Amino acid sequence: SVSVVPLALKNTSDCGSFMLLDSAPDSHKFKLTMLQPSHPSHFYKTVKNEMRLLQSSLPPGIWVRGYQDRMDLYSVMIRGPSKTPYQDGLFLFDFQLSADYPHAPPLCNYIPYCSDRLNPNLYEDGKVCVSLLGTWSGKGTEVWTHKSNLLQVIISIQGLILVSEPYFNEAGYERQKGSQQGHENSRMYNEMVLLKLIQATARMQQTPPSVFYEEILEHFNCYGGSMICRLERWLQISECHNTTHPLSPTTPNTYRSIITDSEQQSVLPEFPLIPASKGFCLTLRNTIPQVRTVFDQVLKPGWDDELNKYFPLHSSVSVVDAHSIVVPSDSNSSETAVTCNSDTSKSSSKQLSTGKIPLSGATSVSSASSDSGIGGNSGSTDSNSSTEITPPKTS
């Protein structure tokens, strides 16, 4: 048997958290997959060391749960790092240690809460594409050895998959880096990520997994308001740009003419997104009220007090089923024929030039990203995604 003292959870979720629970939930992907360790004594000794490492070394924004009745199973929740389109989103994974662990990597299953993929390395069927798991090619320290551990895999997912420009994680797309085409494709992909993320967030609120139920509600009680506030500010900037520059080409700098001071500059995303396309703005503008209504149904009263000071929810939205929130396949295409509401744009412009909008408070460890050791489906794109990505032409 392995005796591990659970770490206390902090209300702000700004530290890593490991707990050993009595029994694995029936919903765990590998609950019905039983294994017999090839070398039991070595296996359980390794598991004990793994748990000690998880207790002492988890970085902020990672929750791990082990189980007394199934020492081979783990549940993991990762918060999207700051300065990425995944910021403050939550991502769930089920792990099972293999029979000859640690000589073979663990099995990993991603639990999606949105339709299609929001990352080239996270598949809708649960596949996670990272070299440490043996699901993608790698070399040296990128591949699993008997000295590797579960913590390394978890940190790799946080630092190598949930990055600021996930478009370039797709196999073969890295060659576009530094080009105008690459920047625009990356920006469009980030539009899709944000739409999928808000969809996944709403669905997770209504059907949270039992193992992380309290942590999920606590997280969005703390960060749900600032998450939506960020999206509203980015919408304002983009809608104002699209109204004042309706015929000009979209470039990374044309929107800066409507940003008037350093505080407003500080709310800009640190990844390609602004100015967002008209189609993206229209879809997100229609989706946010539905998501806020879902939050109202499940979160504590007052979760949006600060948000309402600057972005009051004017429209009356009835009870919403999060699974009815759908992201149209062409929602963020820059070619979508959409006429922005001039009154809304004027109002947004006024708020940008005169209003003082508080900066969001959610922060997360931002692991150094790398383009090695990860991969996606080479040359493939989501036919149902919110954007059409054009792969580079090759001879």
Amino acid present at 56 = S
Question: What does the pLDDT average to over 26-55?
Answer: 93
Q: Contact 220/299 with Cβ under 8 angstroms?
A: yes
Place of tokens 């995604």: 385
Over the stretch 60-117, which tens digit does the pLDDT of each residue have?
A: 999 999 999 999 999 999 999 999 999 999 999 999 999 999 999 999 999 999 988 9
Residue 165: the pLDDT is: 97
Give this prediction's pTM.
0.77
Give the CB-side neighbour count of residue 347, counting CA atoms within 13 A: 9
Angular region, 140: left φ>0, alpha ψ -120 to 50, beta rest: left
Instruction: Provide the residue ranges of all domains of the chain, joining segments of one domain with +.
Output: 17-165, 167-354
* Residues designated catalytic: 129
Highest-confidence segment of 30-44, 73-87, 312-326, 366-380: 73-87
Side-by-side strand order, sheet with 90-96:
17-21, 62-67, 70-79, 90-96, 107-111
Give the β-pairing of 107-111 and 62-67.
Answer: unpaired
Topology given in CATH for the domain delimited by 17-165: Ubiquitin Conjugating Enzyme (3.10.110)
Over the stretch 286-330, which tens digit does the pLDDT of each residue have?
A: 999 999 999 999 889 988 888 888 888 765 445 455 555 556 554
Reference 88, options 112, 61, 65, 115; nearest CA is 61
Q: Contact 134/120 with Cβ under 8 angstroms?
A: no
- Please state at what angle helix 180-206 crosses helix 213-244, rounded to 10 degrees: 140
Q: How far is it, in rounded angstroms, from Cα 87 to Cα 374?
A: 20
Q: How far is it, in rounded angstroms, from Cα 101 to Cα 85?
A: 34
In angstroms, what is the C-alpha Rg of the chain?
A: 22
| Chain mean pLDDT for the chain | 78
Q: Contact 128/377 with Cβ under 8 angstroms?
A: no
Residue 395: pLDDT band with limits 50, 70, 90:
very low
At 256, list the tokens.
């800066």
Q: How far is it, in rounded angstroms, from Cα 241 to Cα 247?
A: 11
At 288, list the tokens.
């946010």
Residue 278: the pLDDT is: 92
Residue 149 predicted with pLDDT over 90: yes
Q: Contact 119/166 with Cβ under 8 angstroms?
A: yes
Residue 118: the pLDDT is: 95
Q: How far is it, in rounded angstroms, from Cα 121 to Cα 375?
A: 6
What 230-234 contacts at long range (C-beta under 8 Å, 24+ apart), as own/partner pairs, is 230/87, 230/267, 230/269, 230/360, 231/194, 231/198, 231/284, 231/288, 232/288, 232/307, 232/310, 232/311, 233/267, 233/357, 234/267, 234/268, 234/269, 234/273, 234/274, 234/276
